[in-house]
Chain A
Amino acid sequence: MPNTPEKPLILVIDDEEALRDGCRQVLEKCGYEVITAEQGIEGIKLARERMPDMVFVDLKMPHMSGMEIIEIMSRDLPDIVLVMITGFASIVSAVEAIQKGAYDYLPKPFNPDQLRALTKRGLDHRNLKIETKRLREEKDRMEKNFITFVSHEMRSPLVVIRQYIEALNEIAGKSFDKDVKEIIERCRKRVQSLEEMVEHWLDISRIENGTLAQQKVSLSLASIISRSVEEMTPLCRKKGISLETNISKKLPQITGDAESLVRVFTNIIGNATKYTPEGGKITITVKNDEYYTTASIADTGMGIPLDKLPLIFEPFFRCRGKDEKIIGSGLGLTFCKKIMESHNGGIEVSSKEGKGTTFVLTFPVSDNAAKGNTGHTSKSI
């Protein structure tokens, strides 16, 4: 535990008695508590027991060298500020000590002012380090709590409103005339999309802080695509858009989380349906080479203007075209990008206005699968 509320505790490890005493006198006068050790093992033991704020270690000592002490302490007791006392102002060993975790070095001979100044600076550094750590932990905790807060406090009312709409339709739906029904349906849709937005945003926050549950297993991309196509076919049919797949027969396995990957595909296909006119086509093509499997999803829609293309993976960005009816959370593609990144994959987009848009997803072939595949190919040869 830090000794800050009381006197700062300083440990001096040096085999020269005169230096230990000298340091003690100077530092005690400044109001610090000082403990000393004659050699390394004793010093490390003392440090573990008393947890000093700062340790001065002499480089040249019998038995265990200062460098070894620095190495052990910076690994085991990372909160302690370590300073190397170097006998003959050797820059090389000073640099080495700092690389091993020392905060600074103090060349002999030094005067009391130098010692005082370095001690003060070292203790300030330590306080800052501790404060930073505390703030970082606080921030992480707040982020986690915030997600819980949002999921509870923001989703619950939306869920309840939709439940009320269900109840309203159930108890009085038959007596509503067309306009009333339409108003209710529009309300329901808007609430639902707000709920989805909260949901998407939560998903993204979860990916960012690593709490999104993903089960990465070896799987076939073809099965992911066929699940996604199955899910999206009714929507495409309703909109008069054809959905075709063109999948190479021998695809190696990839490593991924089936649920999130299906969502990536349904998201992109869903997007394509929003921007593709009736009679259009969405084609999913999968190819592979030795290292990557690539899936492209191409539509024959209105396309995305060149200047907006780099922005489409940004949260809340929407290509508002002439068609104001197009709504969405504005987070779908951000989600896709994060999911692809969490799979060590990539997502890219190309588009021509008036011709269509193509998304290309790249998956690294998983190691085992690659080996298995090679074996398979050689057999067929």
Chain B
Amino acid sequence: MTIKKKILLIDDDKDFLFATKLILEKGGYEVFMAEDGKTGVEVWKSIAPDLAIIDMMMETWGEGFSVLNKIRATDTGKETPLFMLSAVDLQGPYNSFEPPPEFPKVNKVLHKPIKADDLLRMIAQELSGK
């Protein structure tokens, strides 16, 4: 039996979590969910996932960024692929998130809603590239 790869989803929208979880499970992954940044970092530490998808605009502005920083600061989080989710708003339509150079590495920036095919393809690429 092959061990399923683990993916952690961090987003404060329950429905978005659930919908994305369904897609990822269909793609053969084991999915963990966290509804806020703090829980997200805790789950990260306890399960050491193979990849995490983090929403940029949770409750408070920038919570996504601080989660990203905290995860990158853990032992298991240095090289693990991390995707950021952006909903392209608040800053105007064209200022989607571009990480500044000194920013912890973000492997992909995804825009909501994400097409199931695209999501699974990008995750597969990222995980096989390791």
Chain A interfacial positions (CB closer than 8 Å to B):
148, 151-152, 155-156, 159-160, 162-164, 166-167, 169-171, 199, 202-203, 206, 211-213, 259-260
Contact = CB atoms under 8 A, between A and B. Distances in A.
Interface of B: 13, 15-16, 19-20, 22-23, 26-27, 57, 87, 89-95, 112-116
Contacts of A202: 89, 93
B21 to A, nearest CB: 8
A213 B13 contact: no
B94 A259 contact: yes
Given A170-B23, A171-B26, A163 B114 contact: yes
Q: Classify the secondary structure of B's interface with A.
A: loop
Given A156-B13, A160-B19, A166 B89 contact: no
A148 B90 contact: yes
Contacts of A171: 22-23, 26
Contacts of B93: 199, 202-203, 212-213, 259
Contacts of B91: 213
Closest 6 CB pairs of A and B: A213-B92, A151-B89, A170-B116, A163-B19, A162-B113, A167-B22
A155 B87 CA distance: 9
SS of A interface (majority): helix
A214 to B, nearest CB: 8
Nearest to B120: A170
Contact of A166 (B57, B94, B116): B116
A224 to B, nearest CB: 14
B90 A160 contact: no
A163 B19 CA distance: 6
Contacts of A167: 19-20, 22-23, 26, 116
A259 B27 CA distance: 35
Nearest to B91: A213
A59 B15 CA distance: 71
Contacts of B94: 213, 259-260
A335 B95 CA distance: 18
Given A166-B19, A167-B19, A159 B90 contact: no
B71 to A, nearest CB: 23
B22 A170 contact: yes
A166 B115 contact: yes
Contacts of B13: 156, 160
B60 to A, nearest CB: 12
A157 to B, nearest CB: 8
Contact of B89 (A155, A163, A212, A259): A155
17 contacts: A151-B89, A151-B90, A152-B89, A152-B90, A156-B87, A159-B16, A159-B113, A160-B13, A163-B19, A163-B114, A166-B114, A170-B26, A171-B23, A171-B26, A203-B92, A212-B93, A213-B92
